[in-house]
Amino acid sequence: MRFMYKAVLSAASLGILAASPVLAGDAIRPIEVFTRPQASQPQEFQSVQLIAQEWRKLGLNVNVRVLPWEQMSDVVWYQRKNWDATAWQMVGRPERSDPDEIIYNLFHSSTAEKGYNFIGYINPEYDAVAQAQRNEIDQAKRKELAYKAQEILAQDQPNMMLVHPKQTFAFDKKVWDPASVVNQSGIGIRNTWTFMSLKPLGEKKDIVLNSGDNVIAINPLYISGGVDSWVFELVYDRLVRVGPDGLPKAWAAESYEWKGDKTIVVKLRQGMKWHDGRPVTPEDVKFSFEAAVSGEAPMYAPFASNIEKIDIGDGSTLTFTLKQPSAAFVTSTLGKINLIPKHVWEPTINDLKTKEQNAESHQEKNPIGSGPFKFERWLTNEEIVLTANKEHFNAPKADRWILRIVPNVEAAVGMLRSGEINFLADFAGDPQVLLKAAEQDGDLEVVSSVEMGFRYVAFNNRRPPFNDPAFRRALSAAVDRQLIVKAAFRGFAEPSNSIVSPALGFWHNEAVVKNFKAGNKIAAKLLEDAGYTLEGGRLHYPGDQKETLAK
């Protein structure tokens, strides 16, 4: 009897469903999330496992696909319609202390087809804000626009921001005075400022540091690997350097001043010399910017292409006239272009113009800059030796800067303890291991600080269901970022909901992170409100939406 009653009831409910198909769309197809392998990216892998677990609770069928970087980037970047979601990361660099590059290039619709907006996020309102912050020279007004951009992104969740990791470095405090170590915000203690100011306490005066990656090139006209920039930031000066606070600071320029929104006047510092002894002239400076757009340095060209002309005035002033107003110009152009000697590079560039190769493949035997360190020696995949330029206006206190290539992380920690290196500048391992080693050793100081770079899960905004902001909001809200911080990053990260790191205090909109609420119930509610339904534990599209991408 009871059985009959049940059967009738379920038949009736089936009848209701059949009669009103508008109530639910198709079941959402199994979705795929990419991550790199655990062996190479343990934190990313762990994060994605946790995320998949939370998404499954919402009624989604989630497949985690493990791909090495080469394959992952190939699909995500070159086959933009063929993926659902992927873990991704942005690394911090001094010139990214100005948020323009990230606000504009990652989300502006103009870069969606082939540029860095590989997720295909298109929002005209956002485009307008991204463009406006680029043109706004008034810092306070620009800050408001940067805040607005972060708010729109928090609302739309084109990506699911996870964390800003903490970078961990260490040094021997018996060799270097801990007070002379500079923590550059968003970069950490391994930075140009530290290398210039490190003060030796005893007999050892060489900074010996490690890198896991090889140096690719030491070329002021080629943007190669991240490690390469450690080297050429020391050998070459720039008009402006990003300061320890993340804001631009006049460097080879004694001062700079905006005259209107398209003109900036730069006064060159007096008495600077190239490493070969010749003086640094305004002509050299002008030449450096022209070399970038000469057609022989394609990677630097975008940073100088906004310059209409450069006029050399009396004394040592240079007037830059821009094609478009650009608020990020000081950081991303004056702070990016390496100053190079005209007498060295002009003949080279003229010669290269007659050849198929460009300046990117021109490795000088003895690179000449004007920076705080001089190039001395480069042994392929083994070490780079620079010597202090004692004549520099900000001369280093150390004698030499020696970069050792150490691909084995465990060995690097051992070397730090044995004294083979005295500054751990690259550490990809577990920070707890390092802290423990420091505790046992007694001579080491470990410093962790929040990066300006970030880890995230990119949604393919082109593909349903990820084209629906409500769906993206729900998926993002499903995951407690504290869980990611603790379980995947072992506490060495800051939870994130904004592309601007808290390390960039001036630009970071704290409210969007604070107001972000996460949890399974919140996510389920968001989906329900948007019309998504659960049928037999499986999440279905709202309305009568069909699944068009199911295999």
Partner 1 sequence: MSHLKAVANRALQFALVLWAVVTILFLMFRLMPGNPMAAYIDPTFTVEQQQALMAQFGLDKPLWKQYIIYLGNLLQGELGQSFRYREPVAERIMALLPNTLILTFSSLIVAYAFGILAGAYLAWRRGSAVENVAIPLVLTTRAMPEFWLGMVLLAIFSFWLGWFPAGGTRSAGASYDSLWALYTSGEFLRYLTLPALTLAIYSQGLPLLLMRSNMLDVMKEDFVTMARIKGLSTWTVVVRHAARNALLPVMTSFAIAVGYQLQGNVVVESVFSWPGLGRELVNAVSASDYPLVQGAFLLIAIVVILMNLIADLLYGLLDPRVSHA
Residue 196 identity? M
Q: What CA–CA distance (Å, rounded) separates 81 from 215? A: 35
User: Using an 8 Å Cβ cutoff, are 335 and 240 in contact?
Assistant: yes
Q: Which x/- pattern over 282-311 shows residues binding partner 1 (rule: CB under 8 A)?
A: ----------------xx-xxx--------
- Cα dihedral 175, 180, 183, 188, rounded to 10, equals -20
Kindly give the pairing relationship between strand 253-258 and strand 263-268.
antiparallel
Taking CB under 8 A as the criterion, the residue among 10, 71, 324, 482 binding partner 1 is 71
441 touches partner 1 (CB under 8 A): no
Taking CB under 8 A as the criterion, the residue among 147, 176, 195, 222 binding partner 1 is 222
366 touches partner 1 (CB under 8 A): no
Interactions with partner 1, residue window 103-142 (CB under 8 A) = 105-106, 113-116
Taking CB under 8 A as the criterion, the residue among 208, 253, 499, 513 binding partner 1 is 208
Interactions with partner 1, residue window 11-70 (CB under 8 A) = 68-70
Nearest-approach distance from CB 197 to partner 1, in angstroms: 21
Q: What CA–CA distance (Å, rounded) separates 509 from 20? A: 46
382 touches partner 1 (CB under 8 A): yes
> What phi, psi does 378 have (nearest 5°)?
-135, 115
Taking CB under 8 A as the criterion, the residue among 242, 252, 405, 478 binding partner 1 is 405
User: Using an 8 Å Cβ cutoff, are 248 and 330 in contact?
Assistant: yes
Q: What CA–CA distance (Å, rounded) separates 320 from 338? A: 16
User: Using an 8 Å Cβ cutoff, are 377 and 370 in contact?
Assistant: no
Q: What CA–CA distance (Å, rounded) separates 461 from 122? A: 8
Closest CA to 433 of 221, 168, 105: 168
Interactions with partner 1, residue window 144-203 (CB under 8 A) = none
Taking CB under 8 A as the criterion, the residue among 8, 9, 77, 324 binding partner 1 is 77
The CA–CA distances, whole Å, from 88 to 162, 455, 459 equal 10, 6, 10
Q: What CA–CA distance (Å, rounded) separates 507 from 484? A: 24
392 touches partner 1 (CB under 8 A): no
Taking CB under 8 A as the criterion, the residue among 73, 319, 321, 394 binding partner 1 is 73
Q: What is the DSSP letter of 81?
A: T
Taking CB under 8 A as the criterion, the residue among 74, 125, 439, 535 binding partner 1 is 74
- Of 90 and 285, which has the nearer Cβ to partner 1? 90
Taking CB under 8 A as the criterion, the residue among 66, 137, 247, 385 binding partner 1 is 385
Nearest-approach distance from CB 112 to partner 1, in angstroms: 11
Interactions with partner 1, residue window 335-364 (CB under 8 A) = 356-358, 360-361, 363
- Of 114 and 309, which has the nearer Cβ to partner 1? 114
Closest CA to 85 of 119, 57, 53: 119
325 touches partner 1 (CB under 8 A): no
Q: What CA–CA distance (Å, rounded) separates 401 from 389? A: 11
Which tokens is 445 given?
């100081």
How many chain residues are in contact with partner 1, going by CB under 8 A? 59
Angle, CA of 214, 218 and 219, to the nearest 5°: 140
393 touches partner 1 (CB under 8 A): no
What are the residues binding partner 1 (CB under 8 A)? 68-71, 73-74, 77-78, 90, 101-102, 105-106, 113-116, 206, 208, 214, 216-217, 219, 222-224, 298-299, 301-303, 356-358, 360-361, 363, 377, 379-383, 385, 400, 402, 404-408, 410-411, 414-415, 417-418, 420-421
